[in-house]
Amino acid sequence: MNRSRRRNHKLEPPPAWRARAMLGLFGVFAVMLGARAFELQVLDQEFLNEEGAKRHLRTMEVPAVRGAIRDRRGAPLALSAPTESVWAVPAALLEDPGRLSALAGELDYSTAELRDRLENYRERQFLYLQRQLSPAHAQRVMAVGAPGVFLQREYRRYYPGGESTAQLVGLTDIDGRGQEGIELALDDELDGAPGSRRVIKDRVGRVVEDLAEFTPPDPGGDVRLTVDLRLQALAYRELKAAVLEHQASAGVAVMADPETGEILAMVSFPSFNPNSRESIPTGTLRHRAVTDTFEPGSTFKPLLISRALDAGAFTRDSVIDTEGGRFRVGRLTVRDFRDYGDVDLRRLLTKSSNVGAAKVGLKLGPERLWQVYNDYGFGTISGVRFPGERYGVLRNFARWDDVTTATAAYGYGVSVTALQLIRAYAALADDGRLRDLRLTLAGEDDWQAAPRQVISADAAAKVRDLLGDVVSAEGTAGRAAVPGYRVVGKTGTVRKVEGAGYDAASHQSLFVGMAPADDPALVTLIMVDEPGSGDYYGGLVAAPAFSNIMREALRILRVPPDNPATLTADAAAEPESKS
């Protein structure tokens, strides 16, 4: 009965309002979605595009090529070559550990080292893996197909002059900023301004769109130096040979054009290979011609004599008693190599008499002696604008007593650089005009002072004539002779200061000379530091290197011989005096 009643019972339909309510809710949702879509697609489109771009739009730097450094003839001394640097997004690369081993092999990592490096910088979006690879090497890296690994164009500096120009031209760091030498001194001129490009990148750093926003880089300017690479290589070769032959610790050679003050060669040994930075020996970066000071010894005597003649204190024929080779000045005994008897100024220079020089200095007095050295530019920089240039030491004459005056007359108690000394000799060669030295050719150098007449042209010519016998069998520098040319110059053999006094076993050997004598085209300085082979006199150590350099340099520059009779003559005899 009850079961039959349930079978016959019919379900009643839902109320109509419920259906309408559900339809209304769906309608409201549809309107809200449509409104939101309209807002996002129409009203906020520009804003959202900008926000998306902020997350993926990048400004990429386009590197500029650094300017070249060239010699006076245009030969390259420093050039920039394109390279590729490998960088990665660490998190993206770690997503494919199977490629780490192959990638590590191409980059000279172990797999563990590469993995640890990536893990340490996992949160970064940019990590250098290897910099400045050759394009071929970079392509082998990319052929591994590792995710999140990319290339970036950079430039690497190359130095065709190698060791001979290393300390002169200097170095840049891995980012192309000047660190030493001309690279540092003229960094502003050489350095370019990078450009830029706007790109869109995906989450792993890949460029997916290159936008039409590009600012081209501004390349750096080239720099032309006064040096001649042929002469630079020649000077370095002969200086190196002299240092090695005499088992010395170091050496310097500088060559200049006296009429312009232009440096034609400036070398220092030991040097280094600038193209192999992993093996630069300690202490070889500095250019000793600029940074190292030394006492000039007897090379000061011609400068002393020039002022003595100019001031009228002595004439060419003045005779000086050398006191048997021993001259007492206060607590000091001035000594000559042997007793030269009475000497005139020519013989004083030819035999390099310390006693004669001391007597000339004492007659001039401390103020006039100090003034001549100051006039020749000692105690001031030379004008080359090279990093680290030293002023040397020239103490004020008010502190000089007779001992100081006597020793200063033959080049002790004063310290100079090679640049200062060759500048002074260039003034002797150029009829008494002292010029700032120059290392760059480009444009007019407003910063350079006008030449100064430090002694008369007549006095300069007389000193050059008086030096004529120094480079002969009678003088201290017979081995400085150059066949076909009259060479004049002066030797110097200086004891080095060690601690509180001079070391009798430690010397510096010098020769500074010029040719042709009547109208010098070249002035060259050689300094060999601490020769250890037994010979240490300037005439035996520095003079032969001078001869070898000048012989080739005069030929290269096609300077006409002024003494052709000596072209077939035998080499000069062993010098008598050893100063």
Q: Which residue has the tokens 């090679």?
A: 418
Read off the DSSP letter of residue 300.
G
Q: Within a 10 A sphere around the Cβ of 35, how many other Cβ atoms?
A: 11
How far, in Å, CA of 226 to CA of 175, rounded? 27
Q: Which residue has the tokens 């007449």?
A: 453
- What six digits make up the tokens of 304? 């002393």
- What six digits make up the tokens of 339? 């007793």
Catalytic annotation, pick one of 85, 268, 271, 298 = 298
Q: Provide the β-strand partners of residue 343.
A: 320
Q: Within a 10 A sphere around the Cβ of 449, how many other Cβ atoms?
A: 10
DSSP secondary structure string for all residues of 27-38: HHHHHHHHHHHH
Torsions phi, psi of 240, nearest 5?
-60, -45
Task: Assess whether the previous peptide bond of 520 is cis (omega < 30° from 0).
Answer: no
How far, in Å, CA of 15 to CA of 463, rounded? 131
Q: Which residue has the tokens 């100079």?
A: 416
DSSP secondary structure string for all residues of 551-571: HHHHHHTTPPPSBGGGTTSPP
DSSP secondary structure string for all residues of 323-377: GGGEEEETTEEEE-SS---EE-HHHHHHHT-HHHHHHHHHHHHHHHHHHHHHHTT
Of residues 309, 361, 320, 359, the one with CA closest to residue 343: 320
298 is catalytic: yes
Q: Within a 10 A sphere around the Cβ of 1, how many other Cβ atoms?
A: 4
How far, in Å, CA of 291 to CA of 349, rounded? 29
Q: How far apart are the first and last CA of the chain?
A: 149
Burial class, 463, CB count within 10 angstroms (exposed 0-12 / middle 13-18 / buried 19+) = buried
3-state secondary structure of 41: helix
Q: Provide the β-strand partners of residue 85.
A: 152
Tell me the CA distances in angstroms from 222 to 65, 154, 187, 213, one per residue in order. Answer: 10, 18, 11, 28
Pairing of strands 250-257, 522-529: antiparallel
- What six digits make up the tokens of 532? 């250890």
- What six digits make up the tokens of 434? 């002292």
Residue type, 377: G
3-state secondary structure of 404: helix
C-beta of residue 446 within 8 angstroms of C-beta of residue 543: no
Could you list the active site residues? Answer: 298
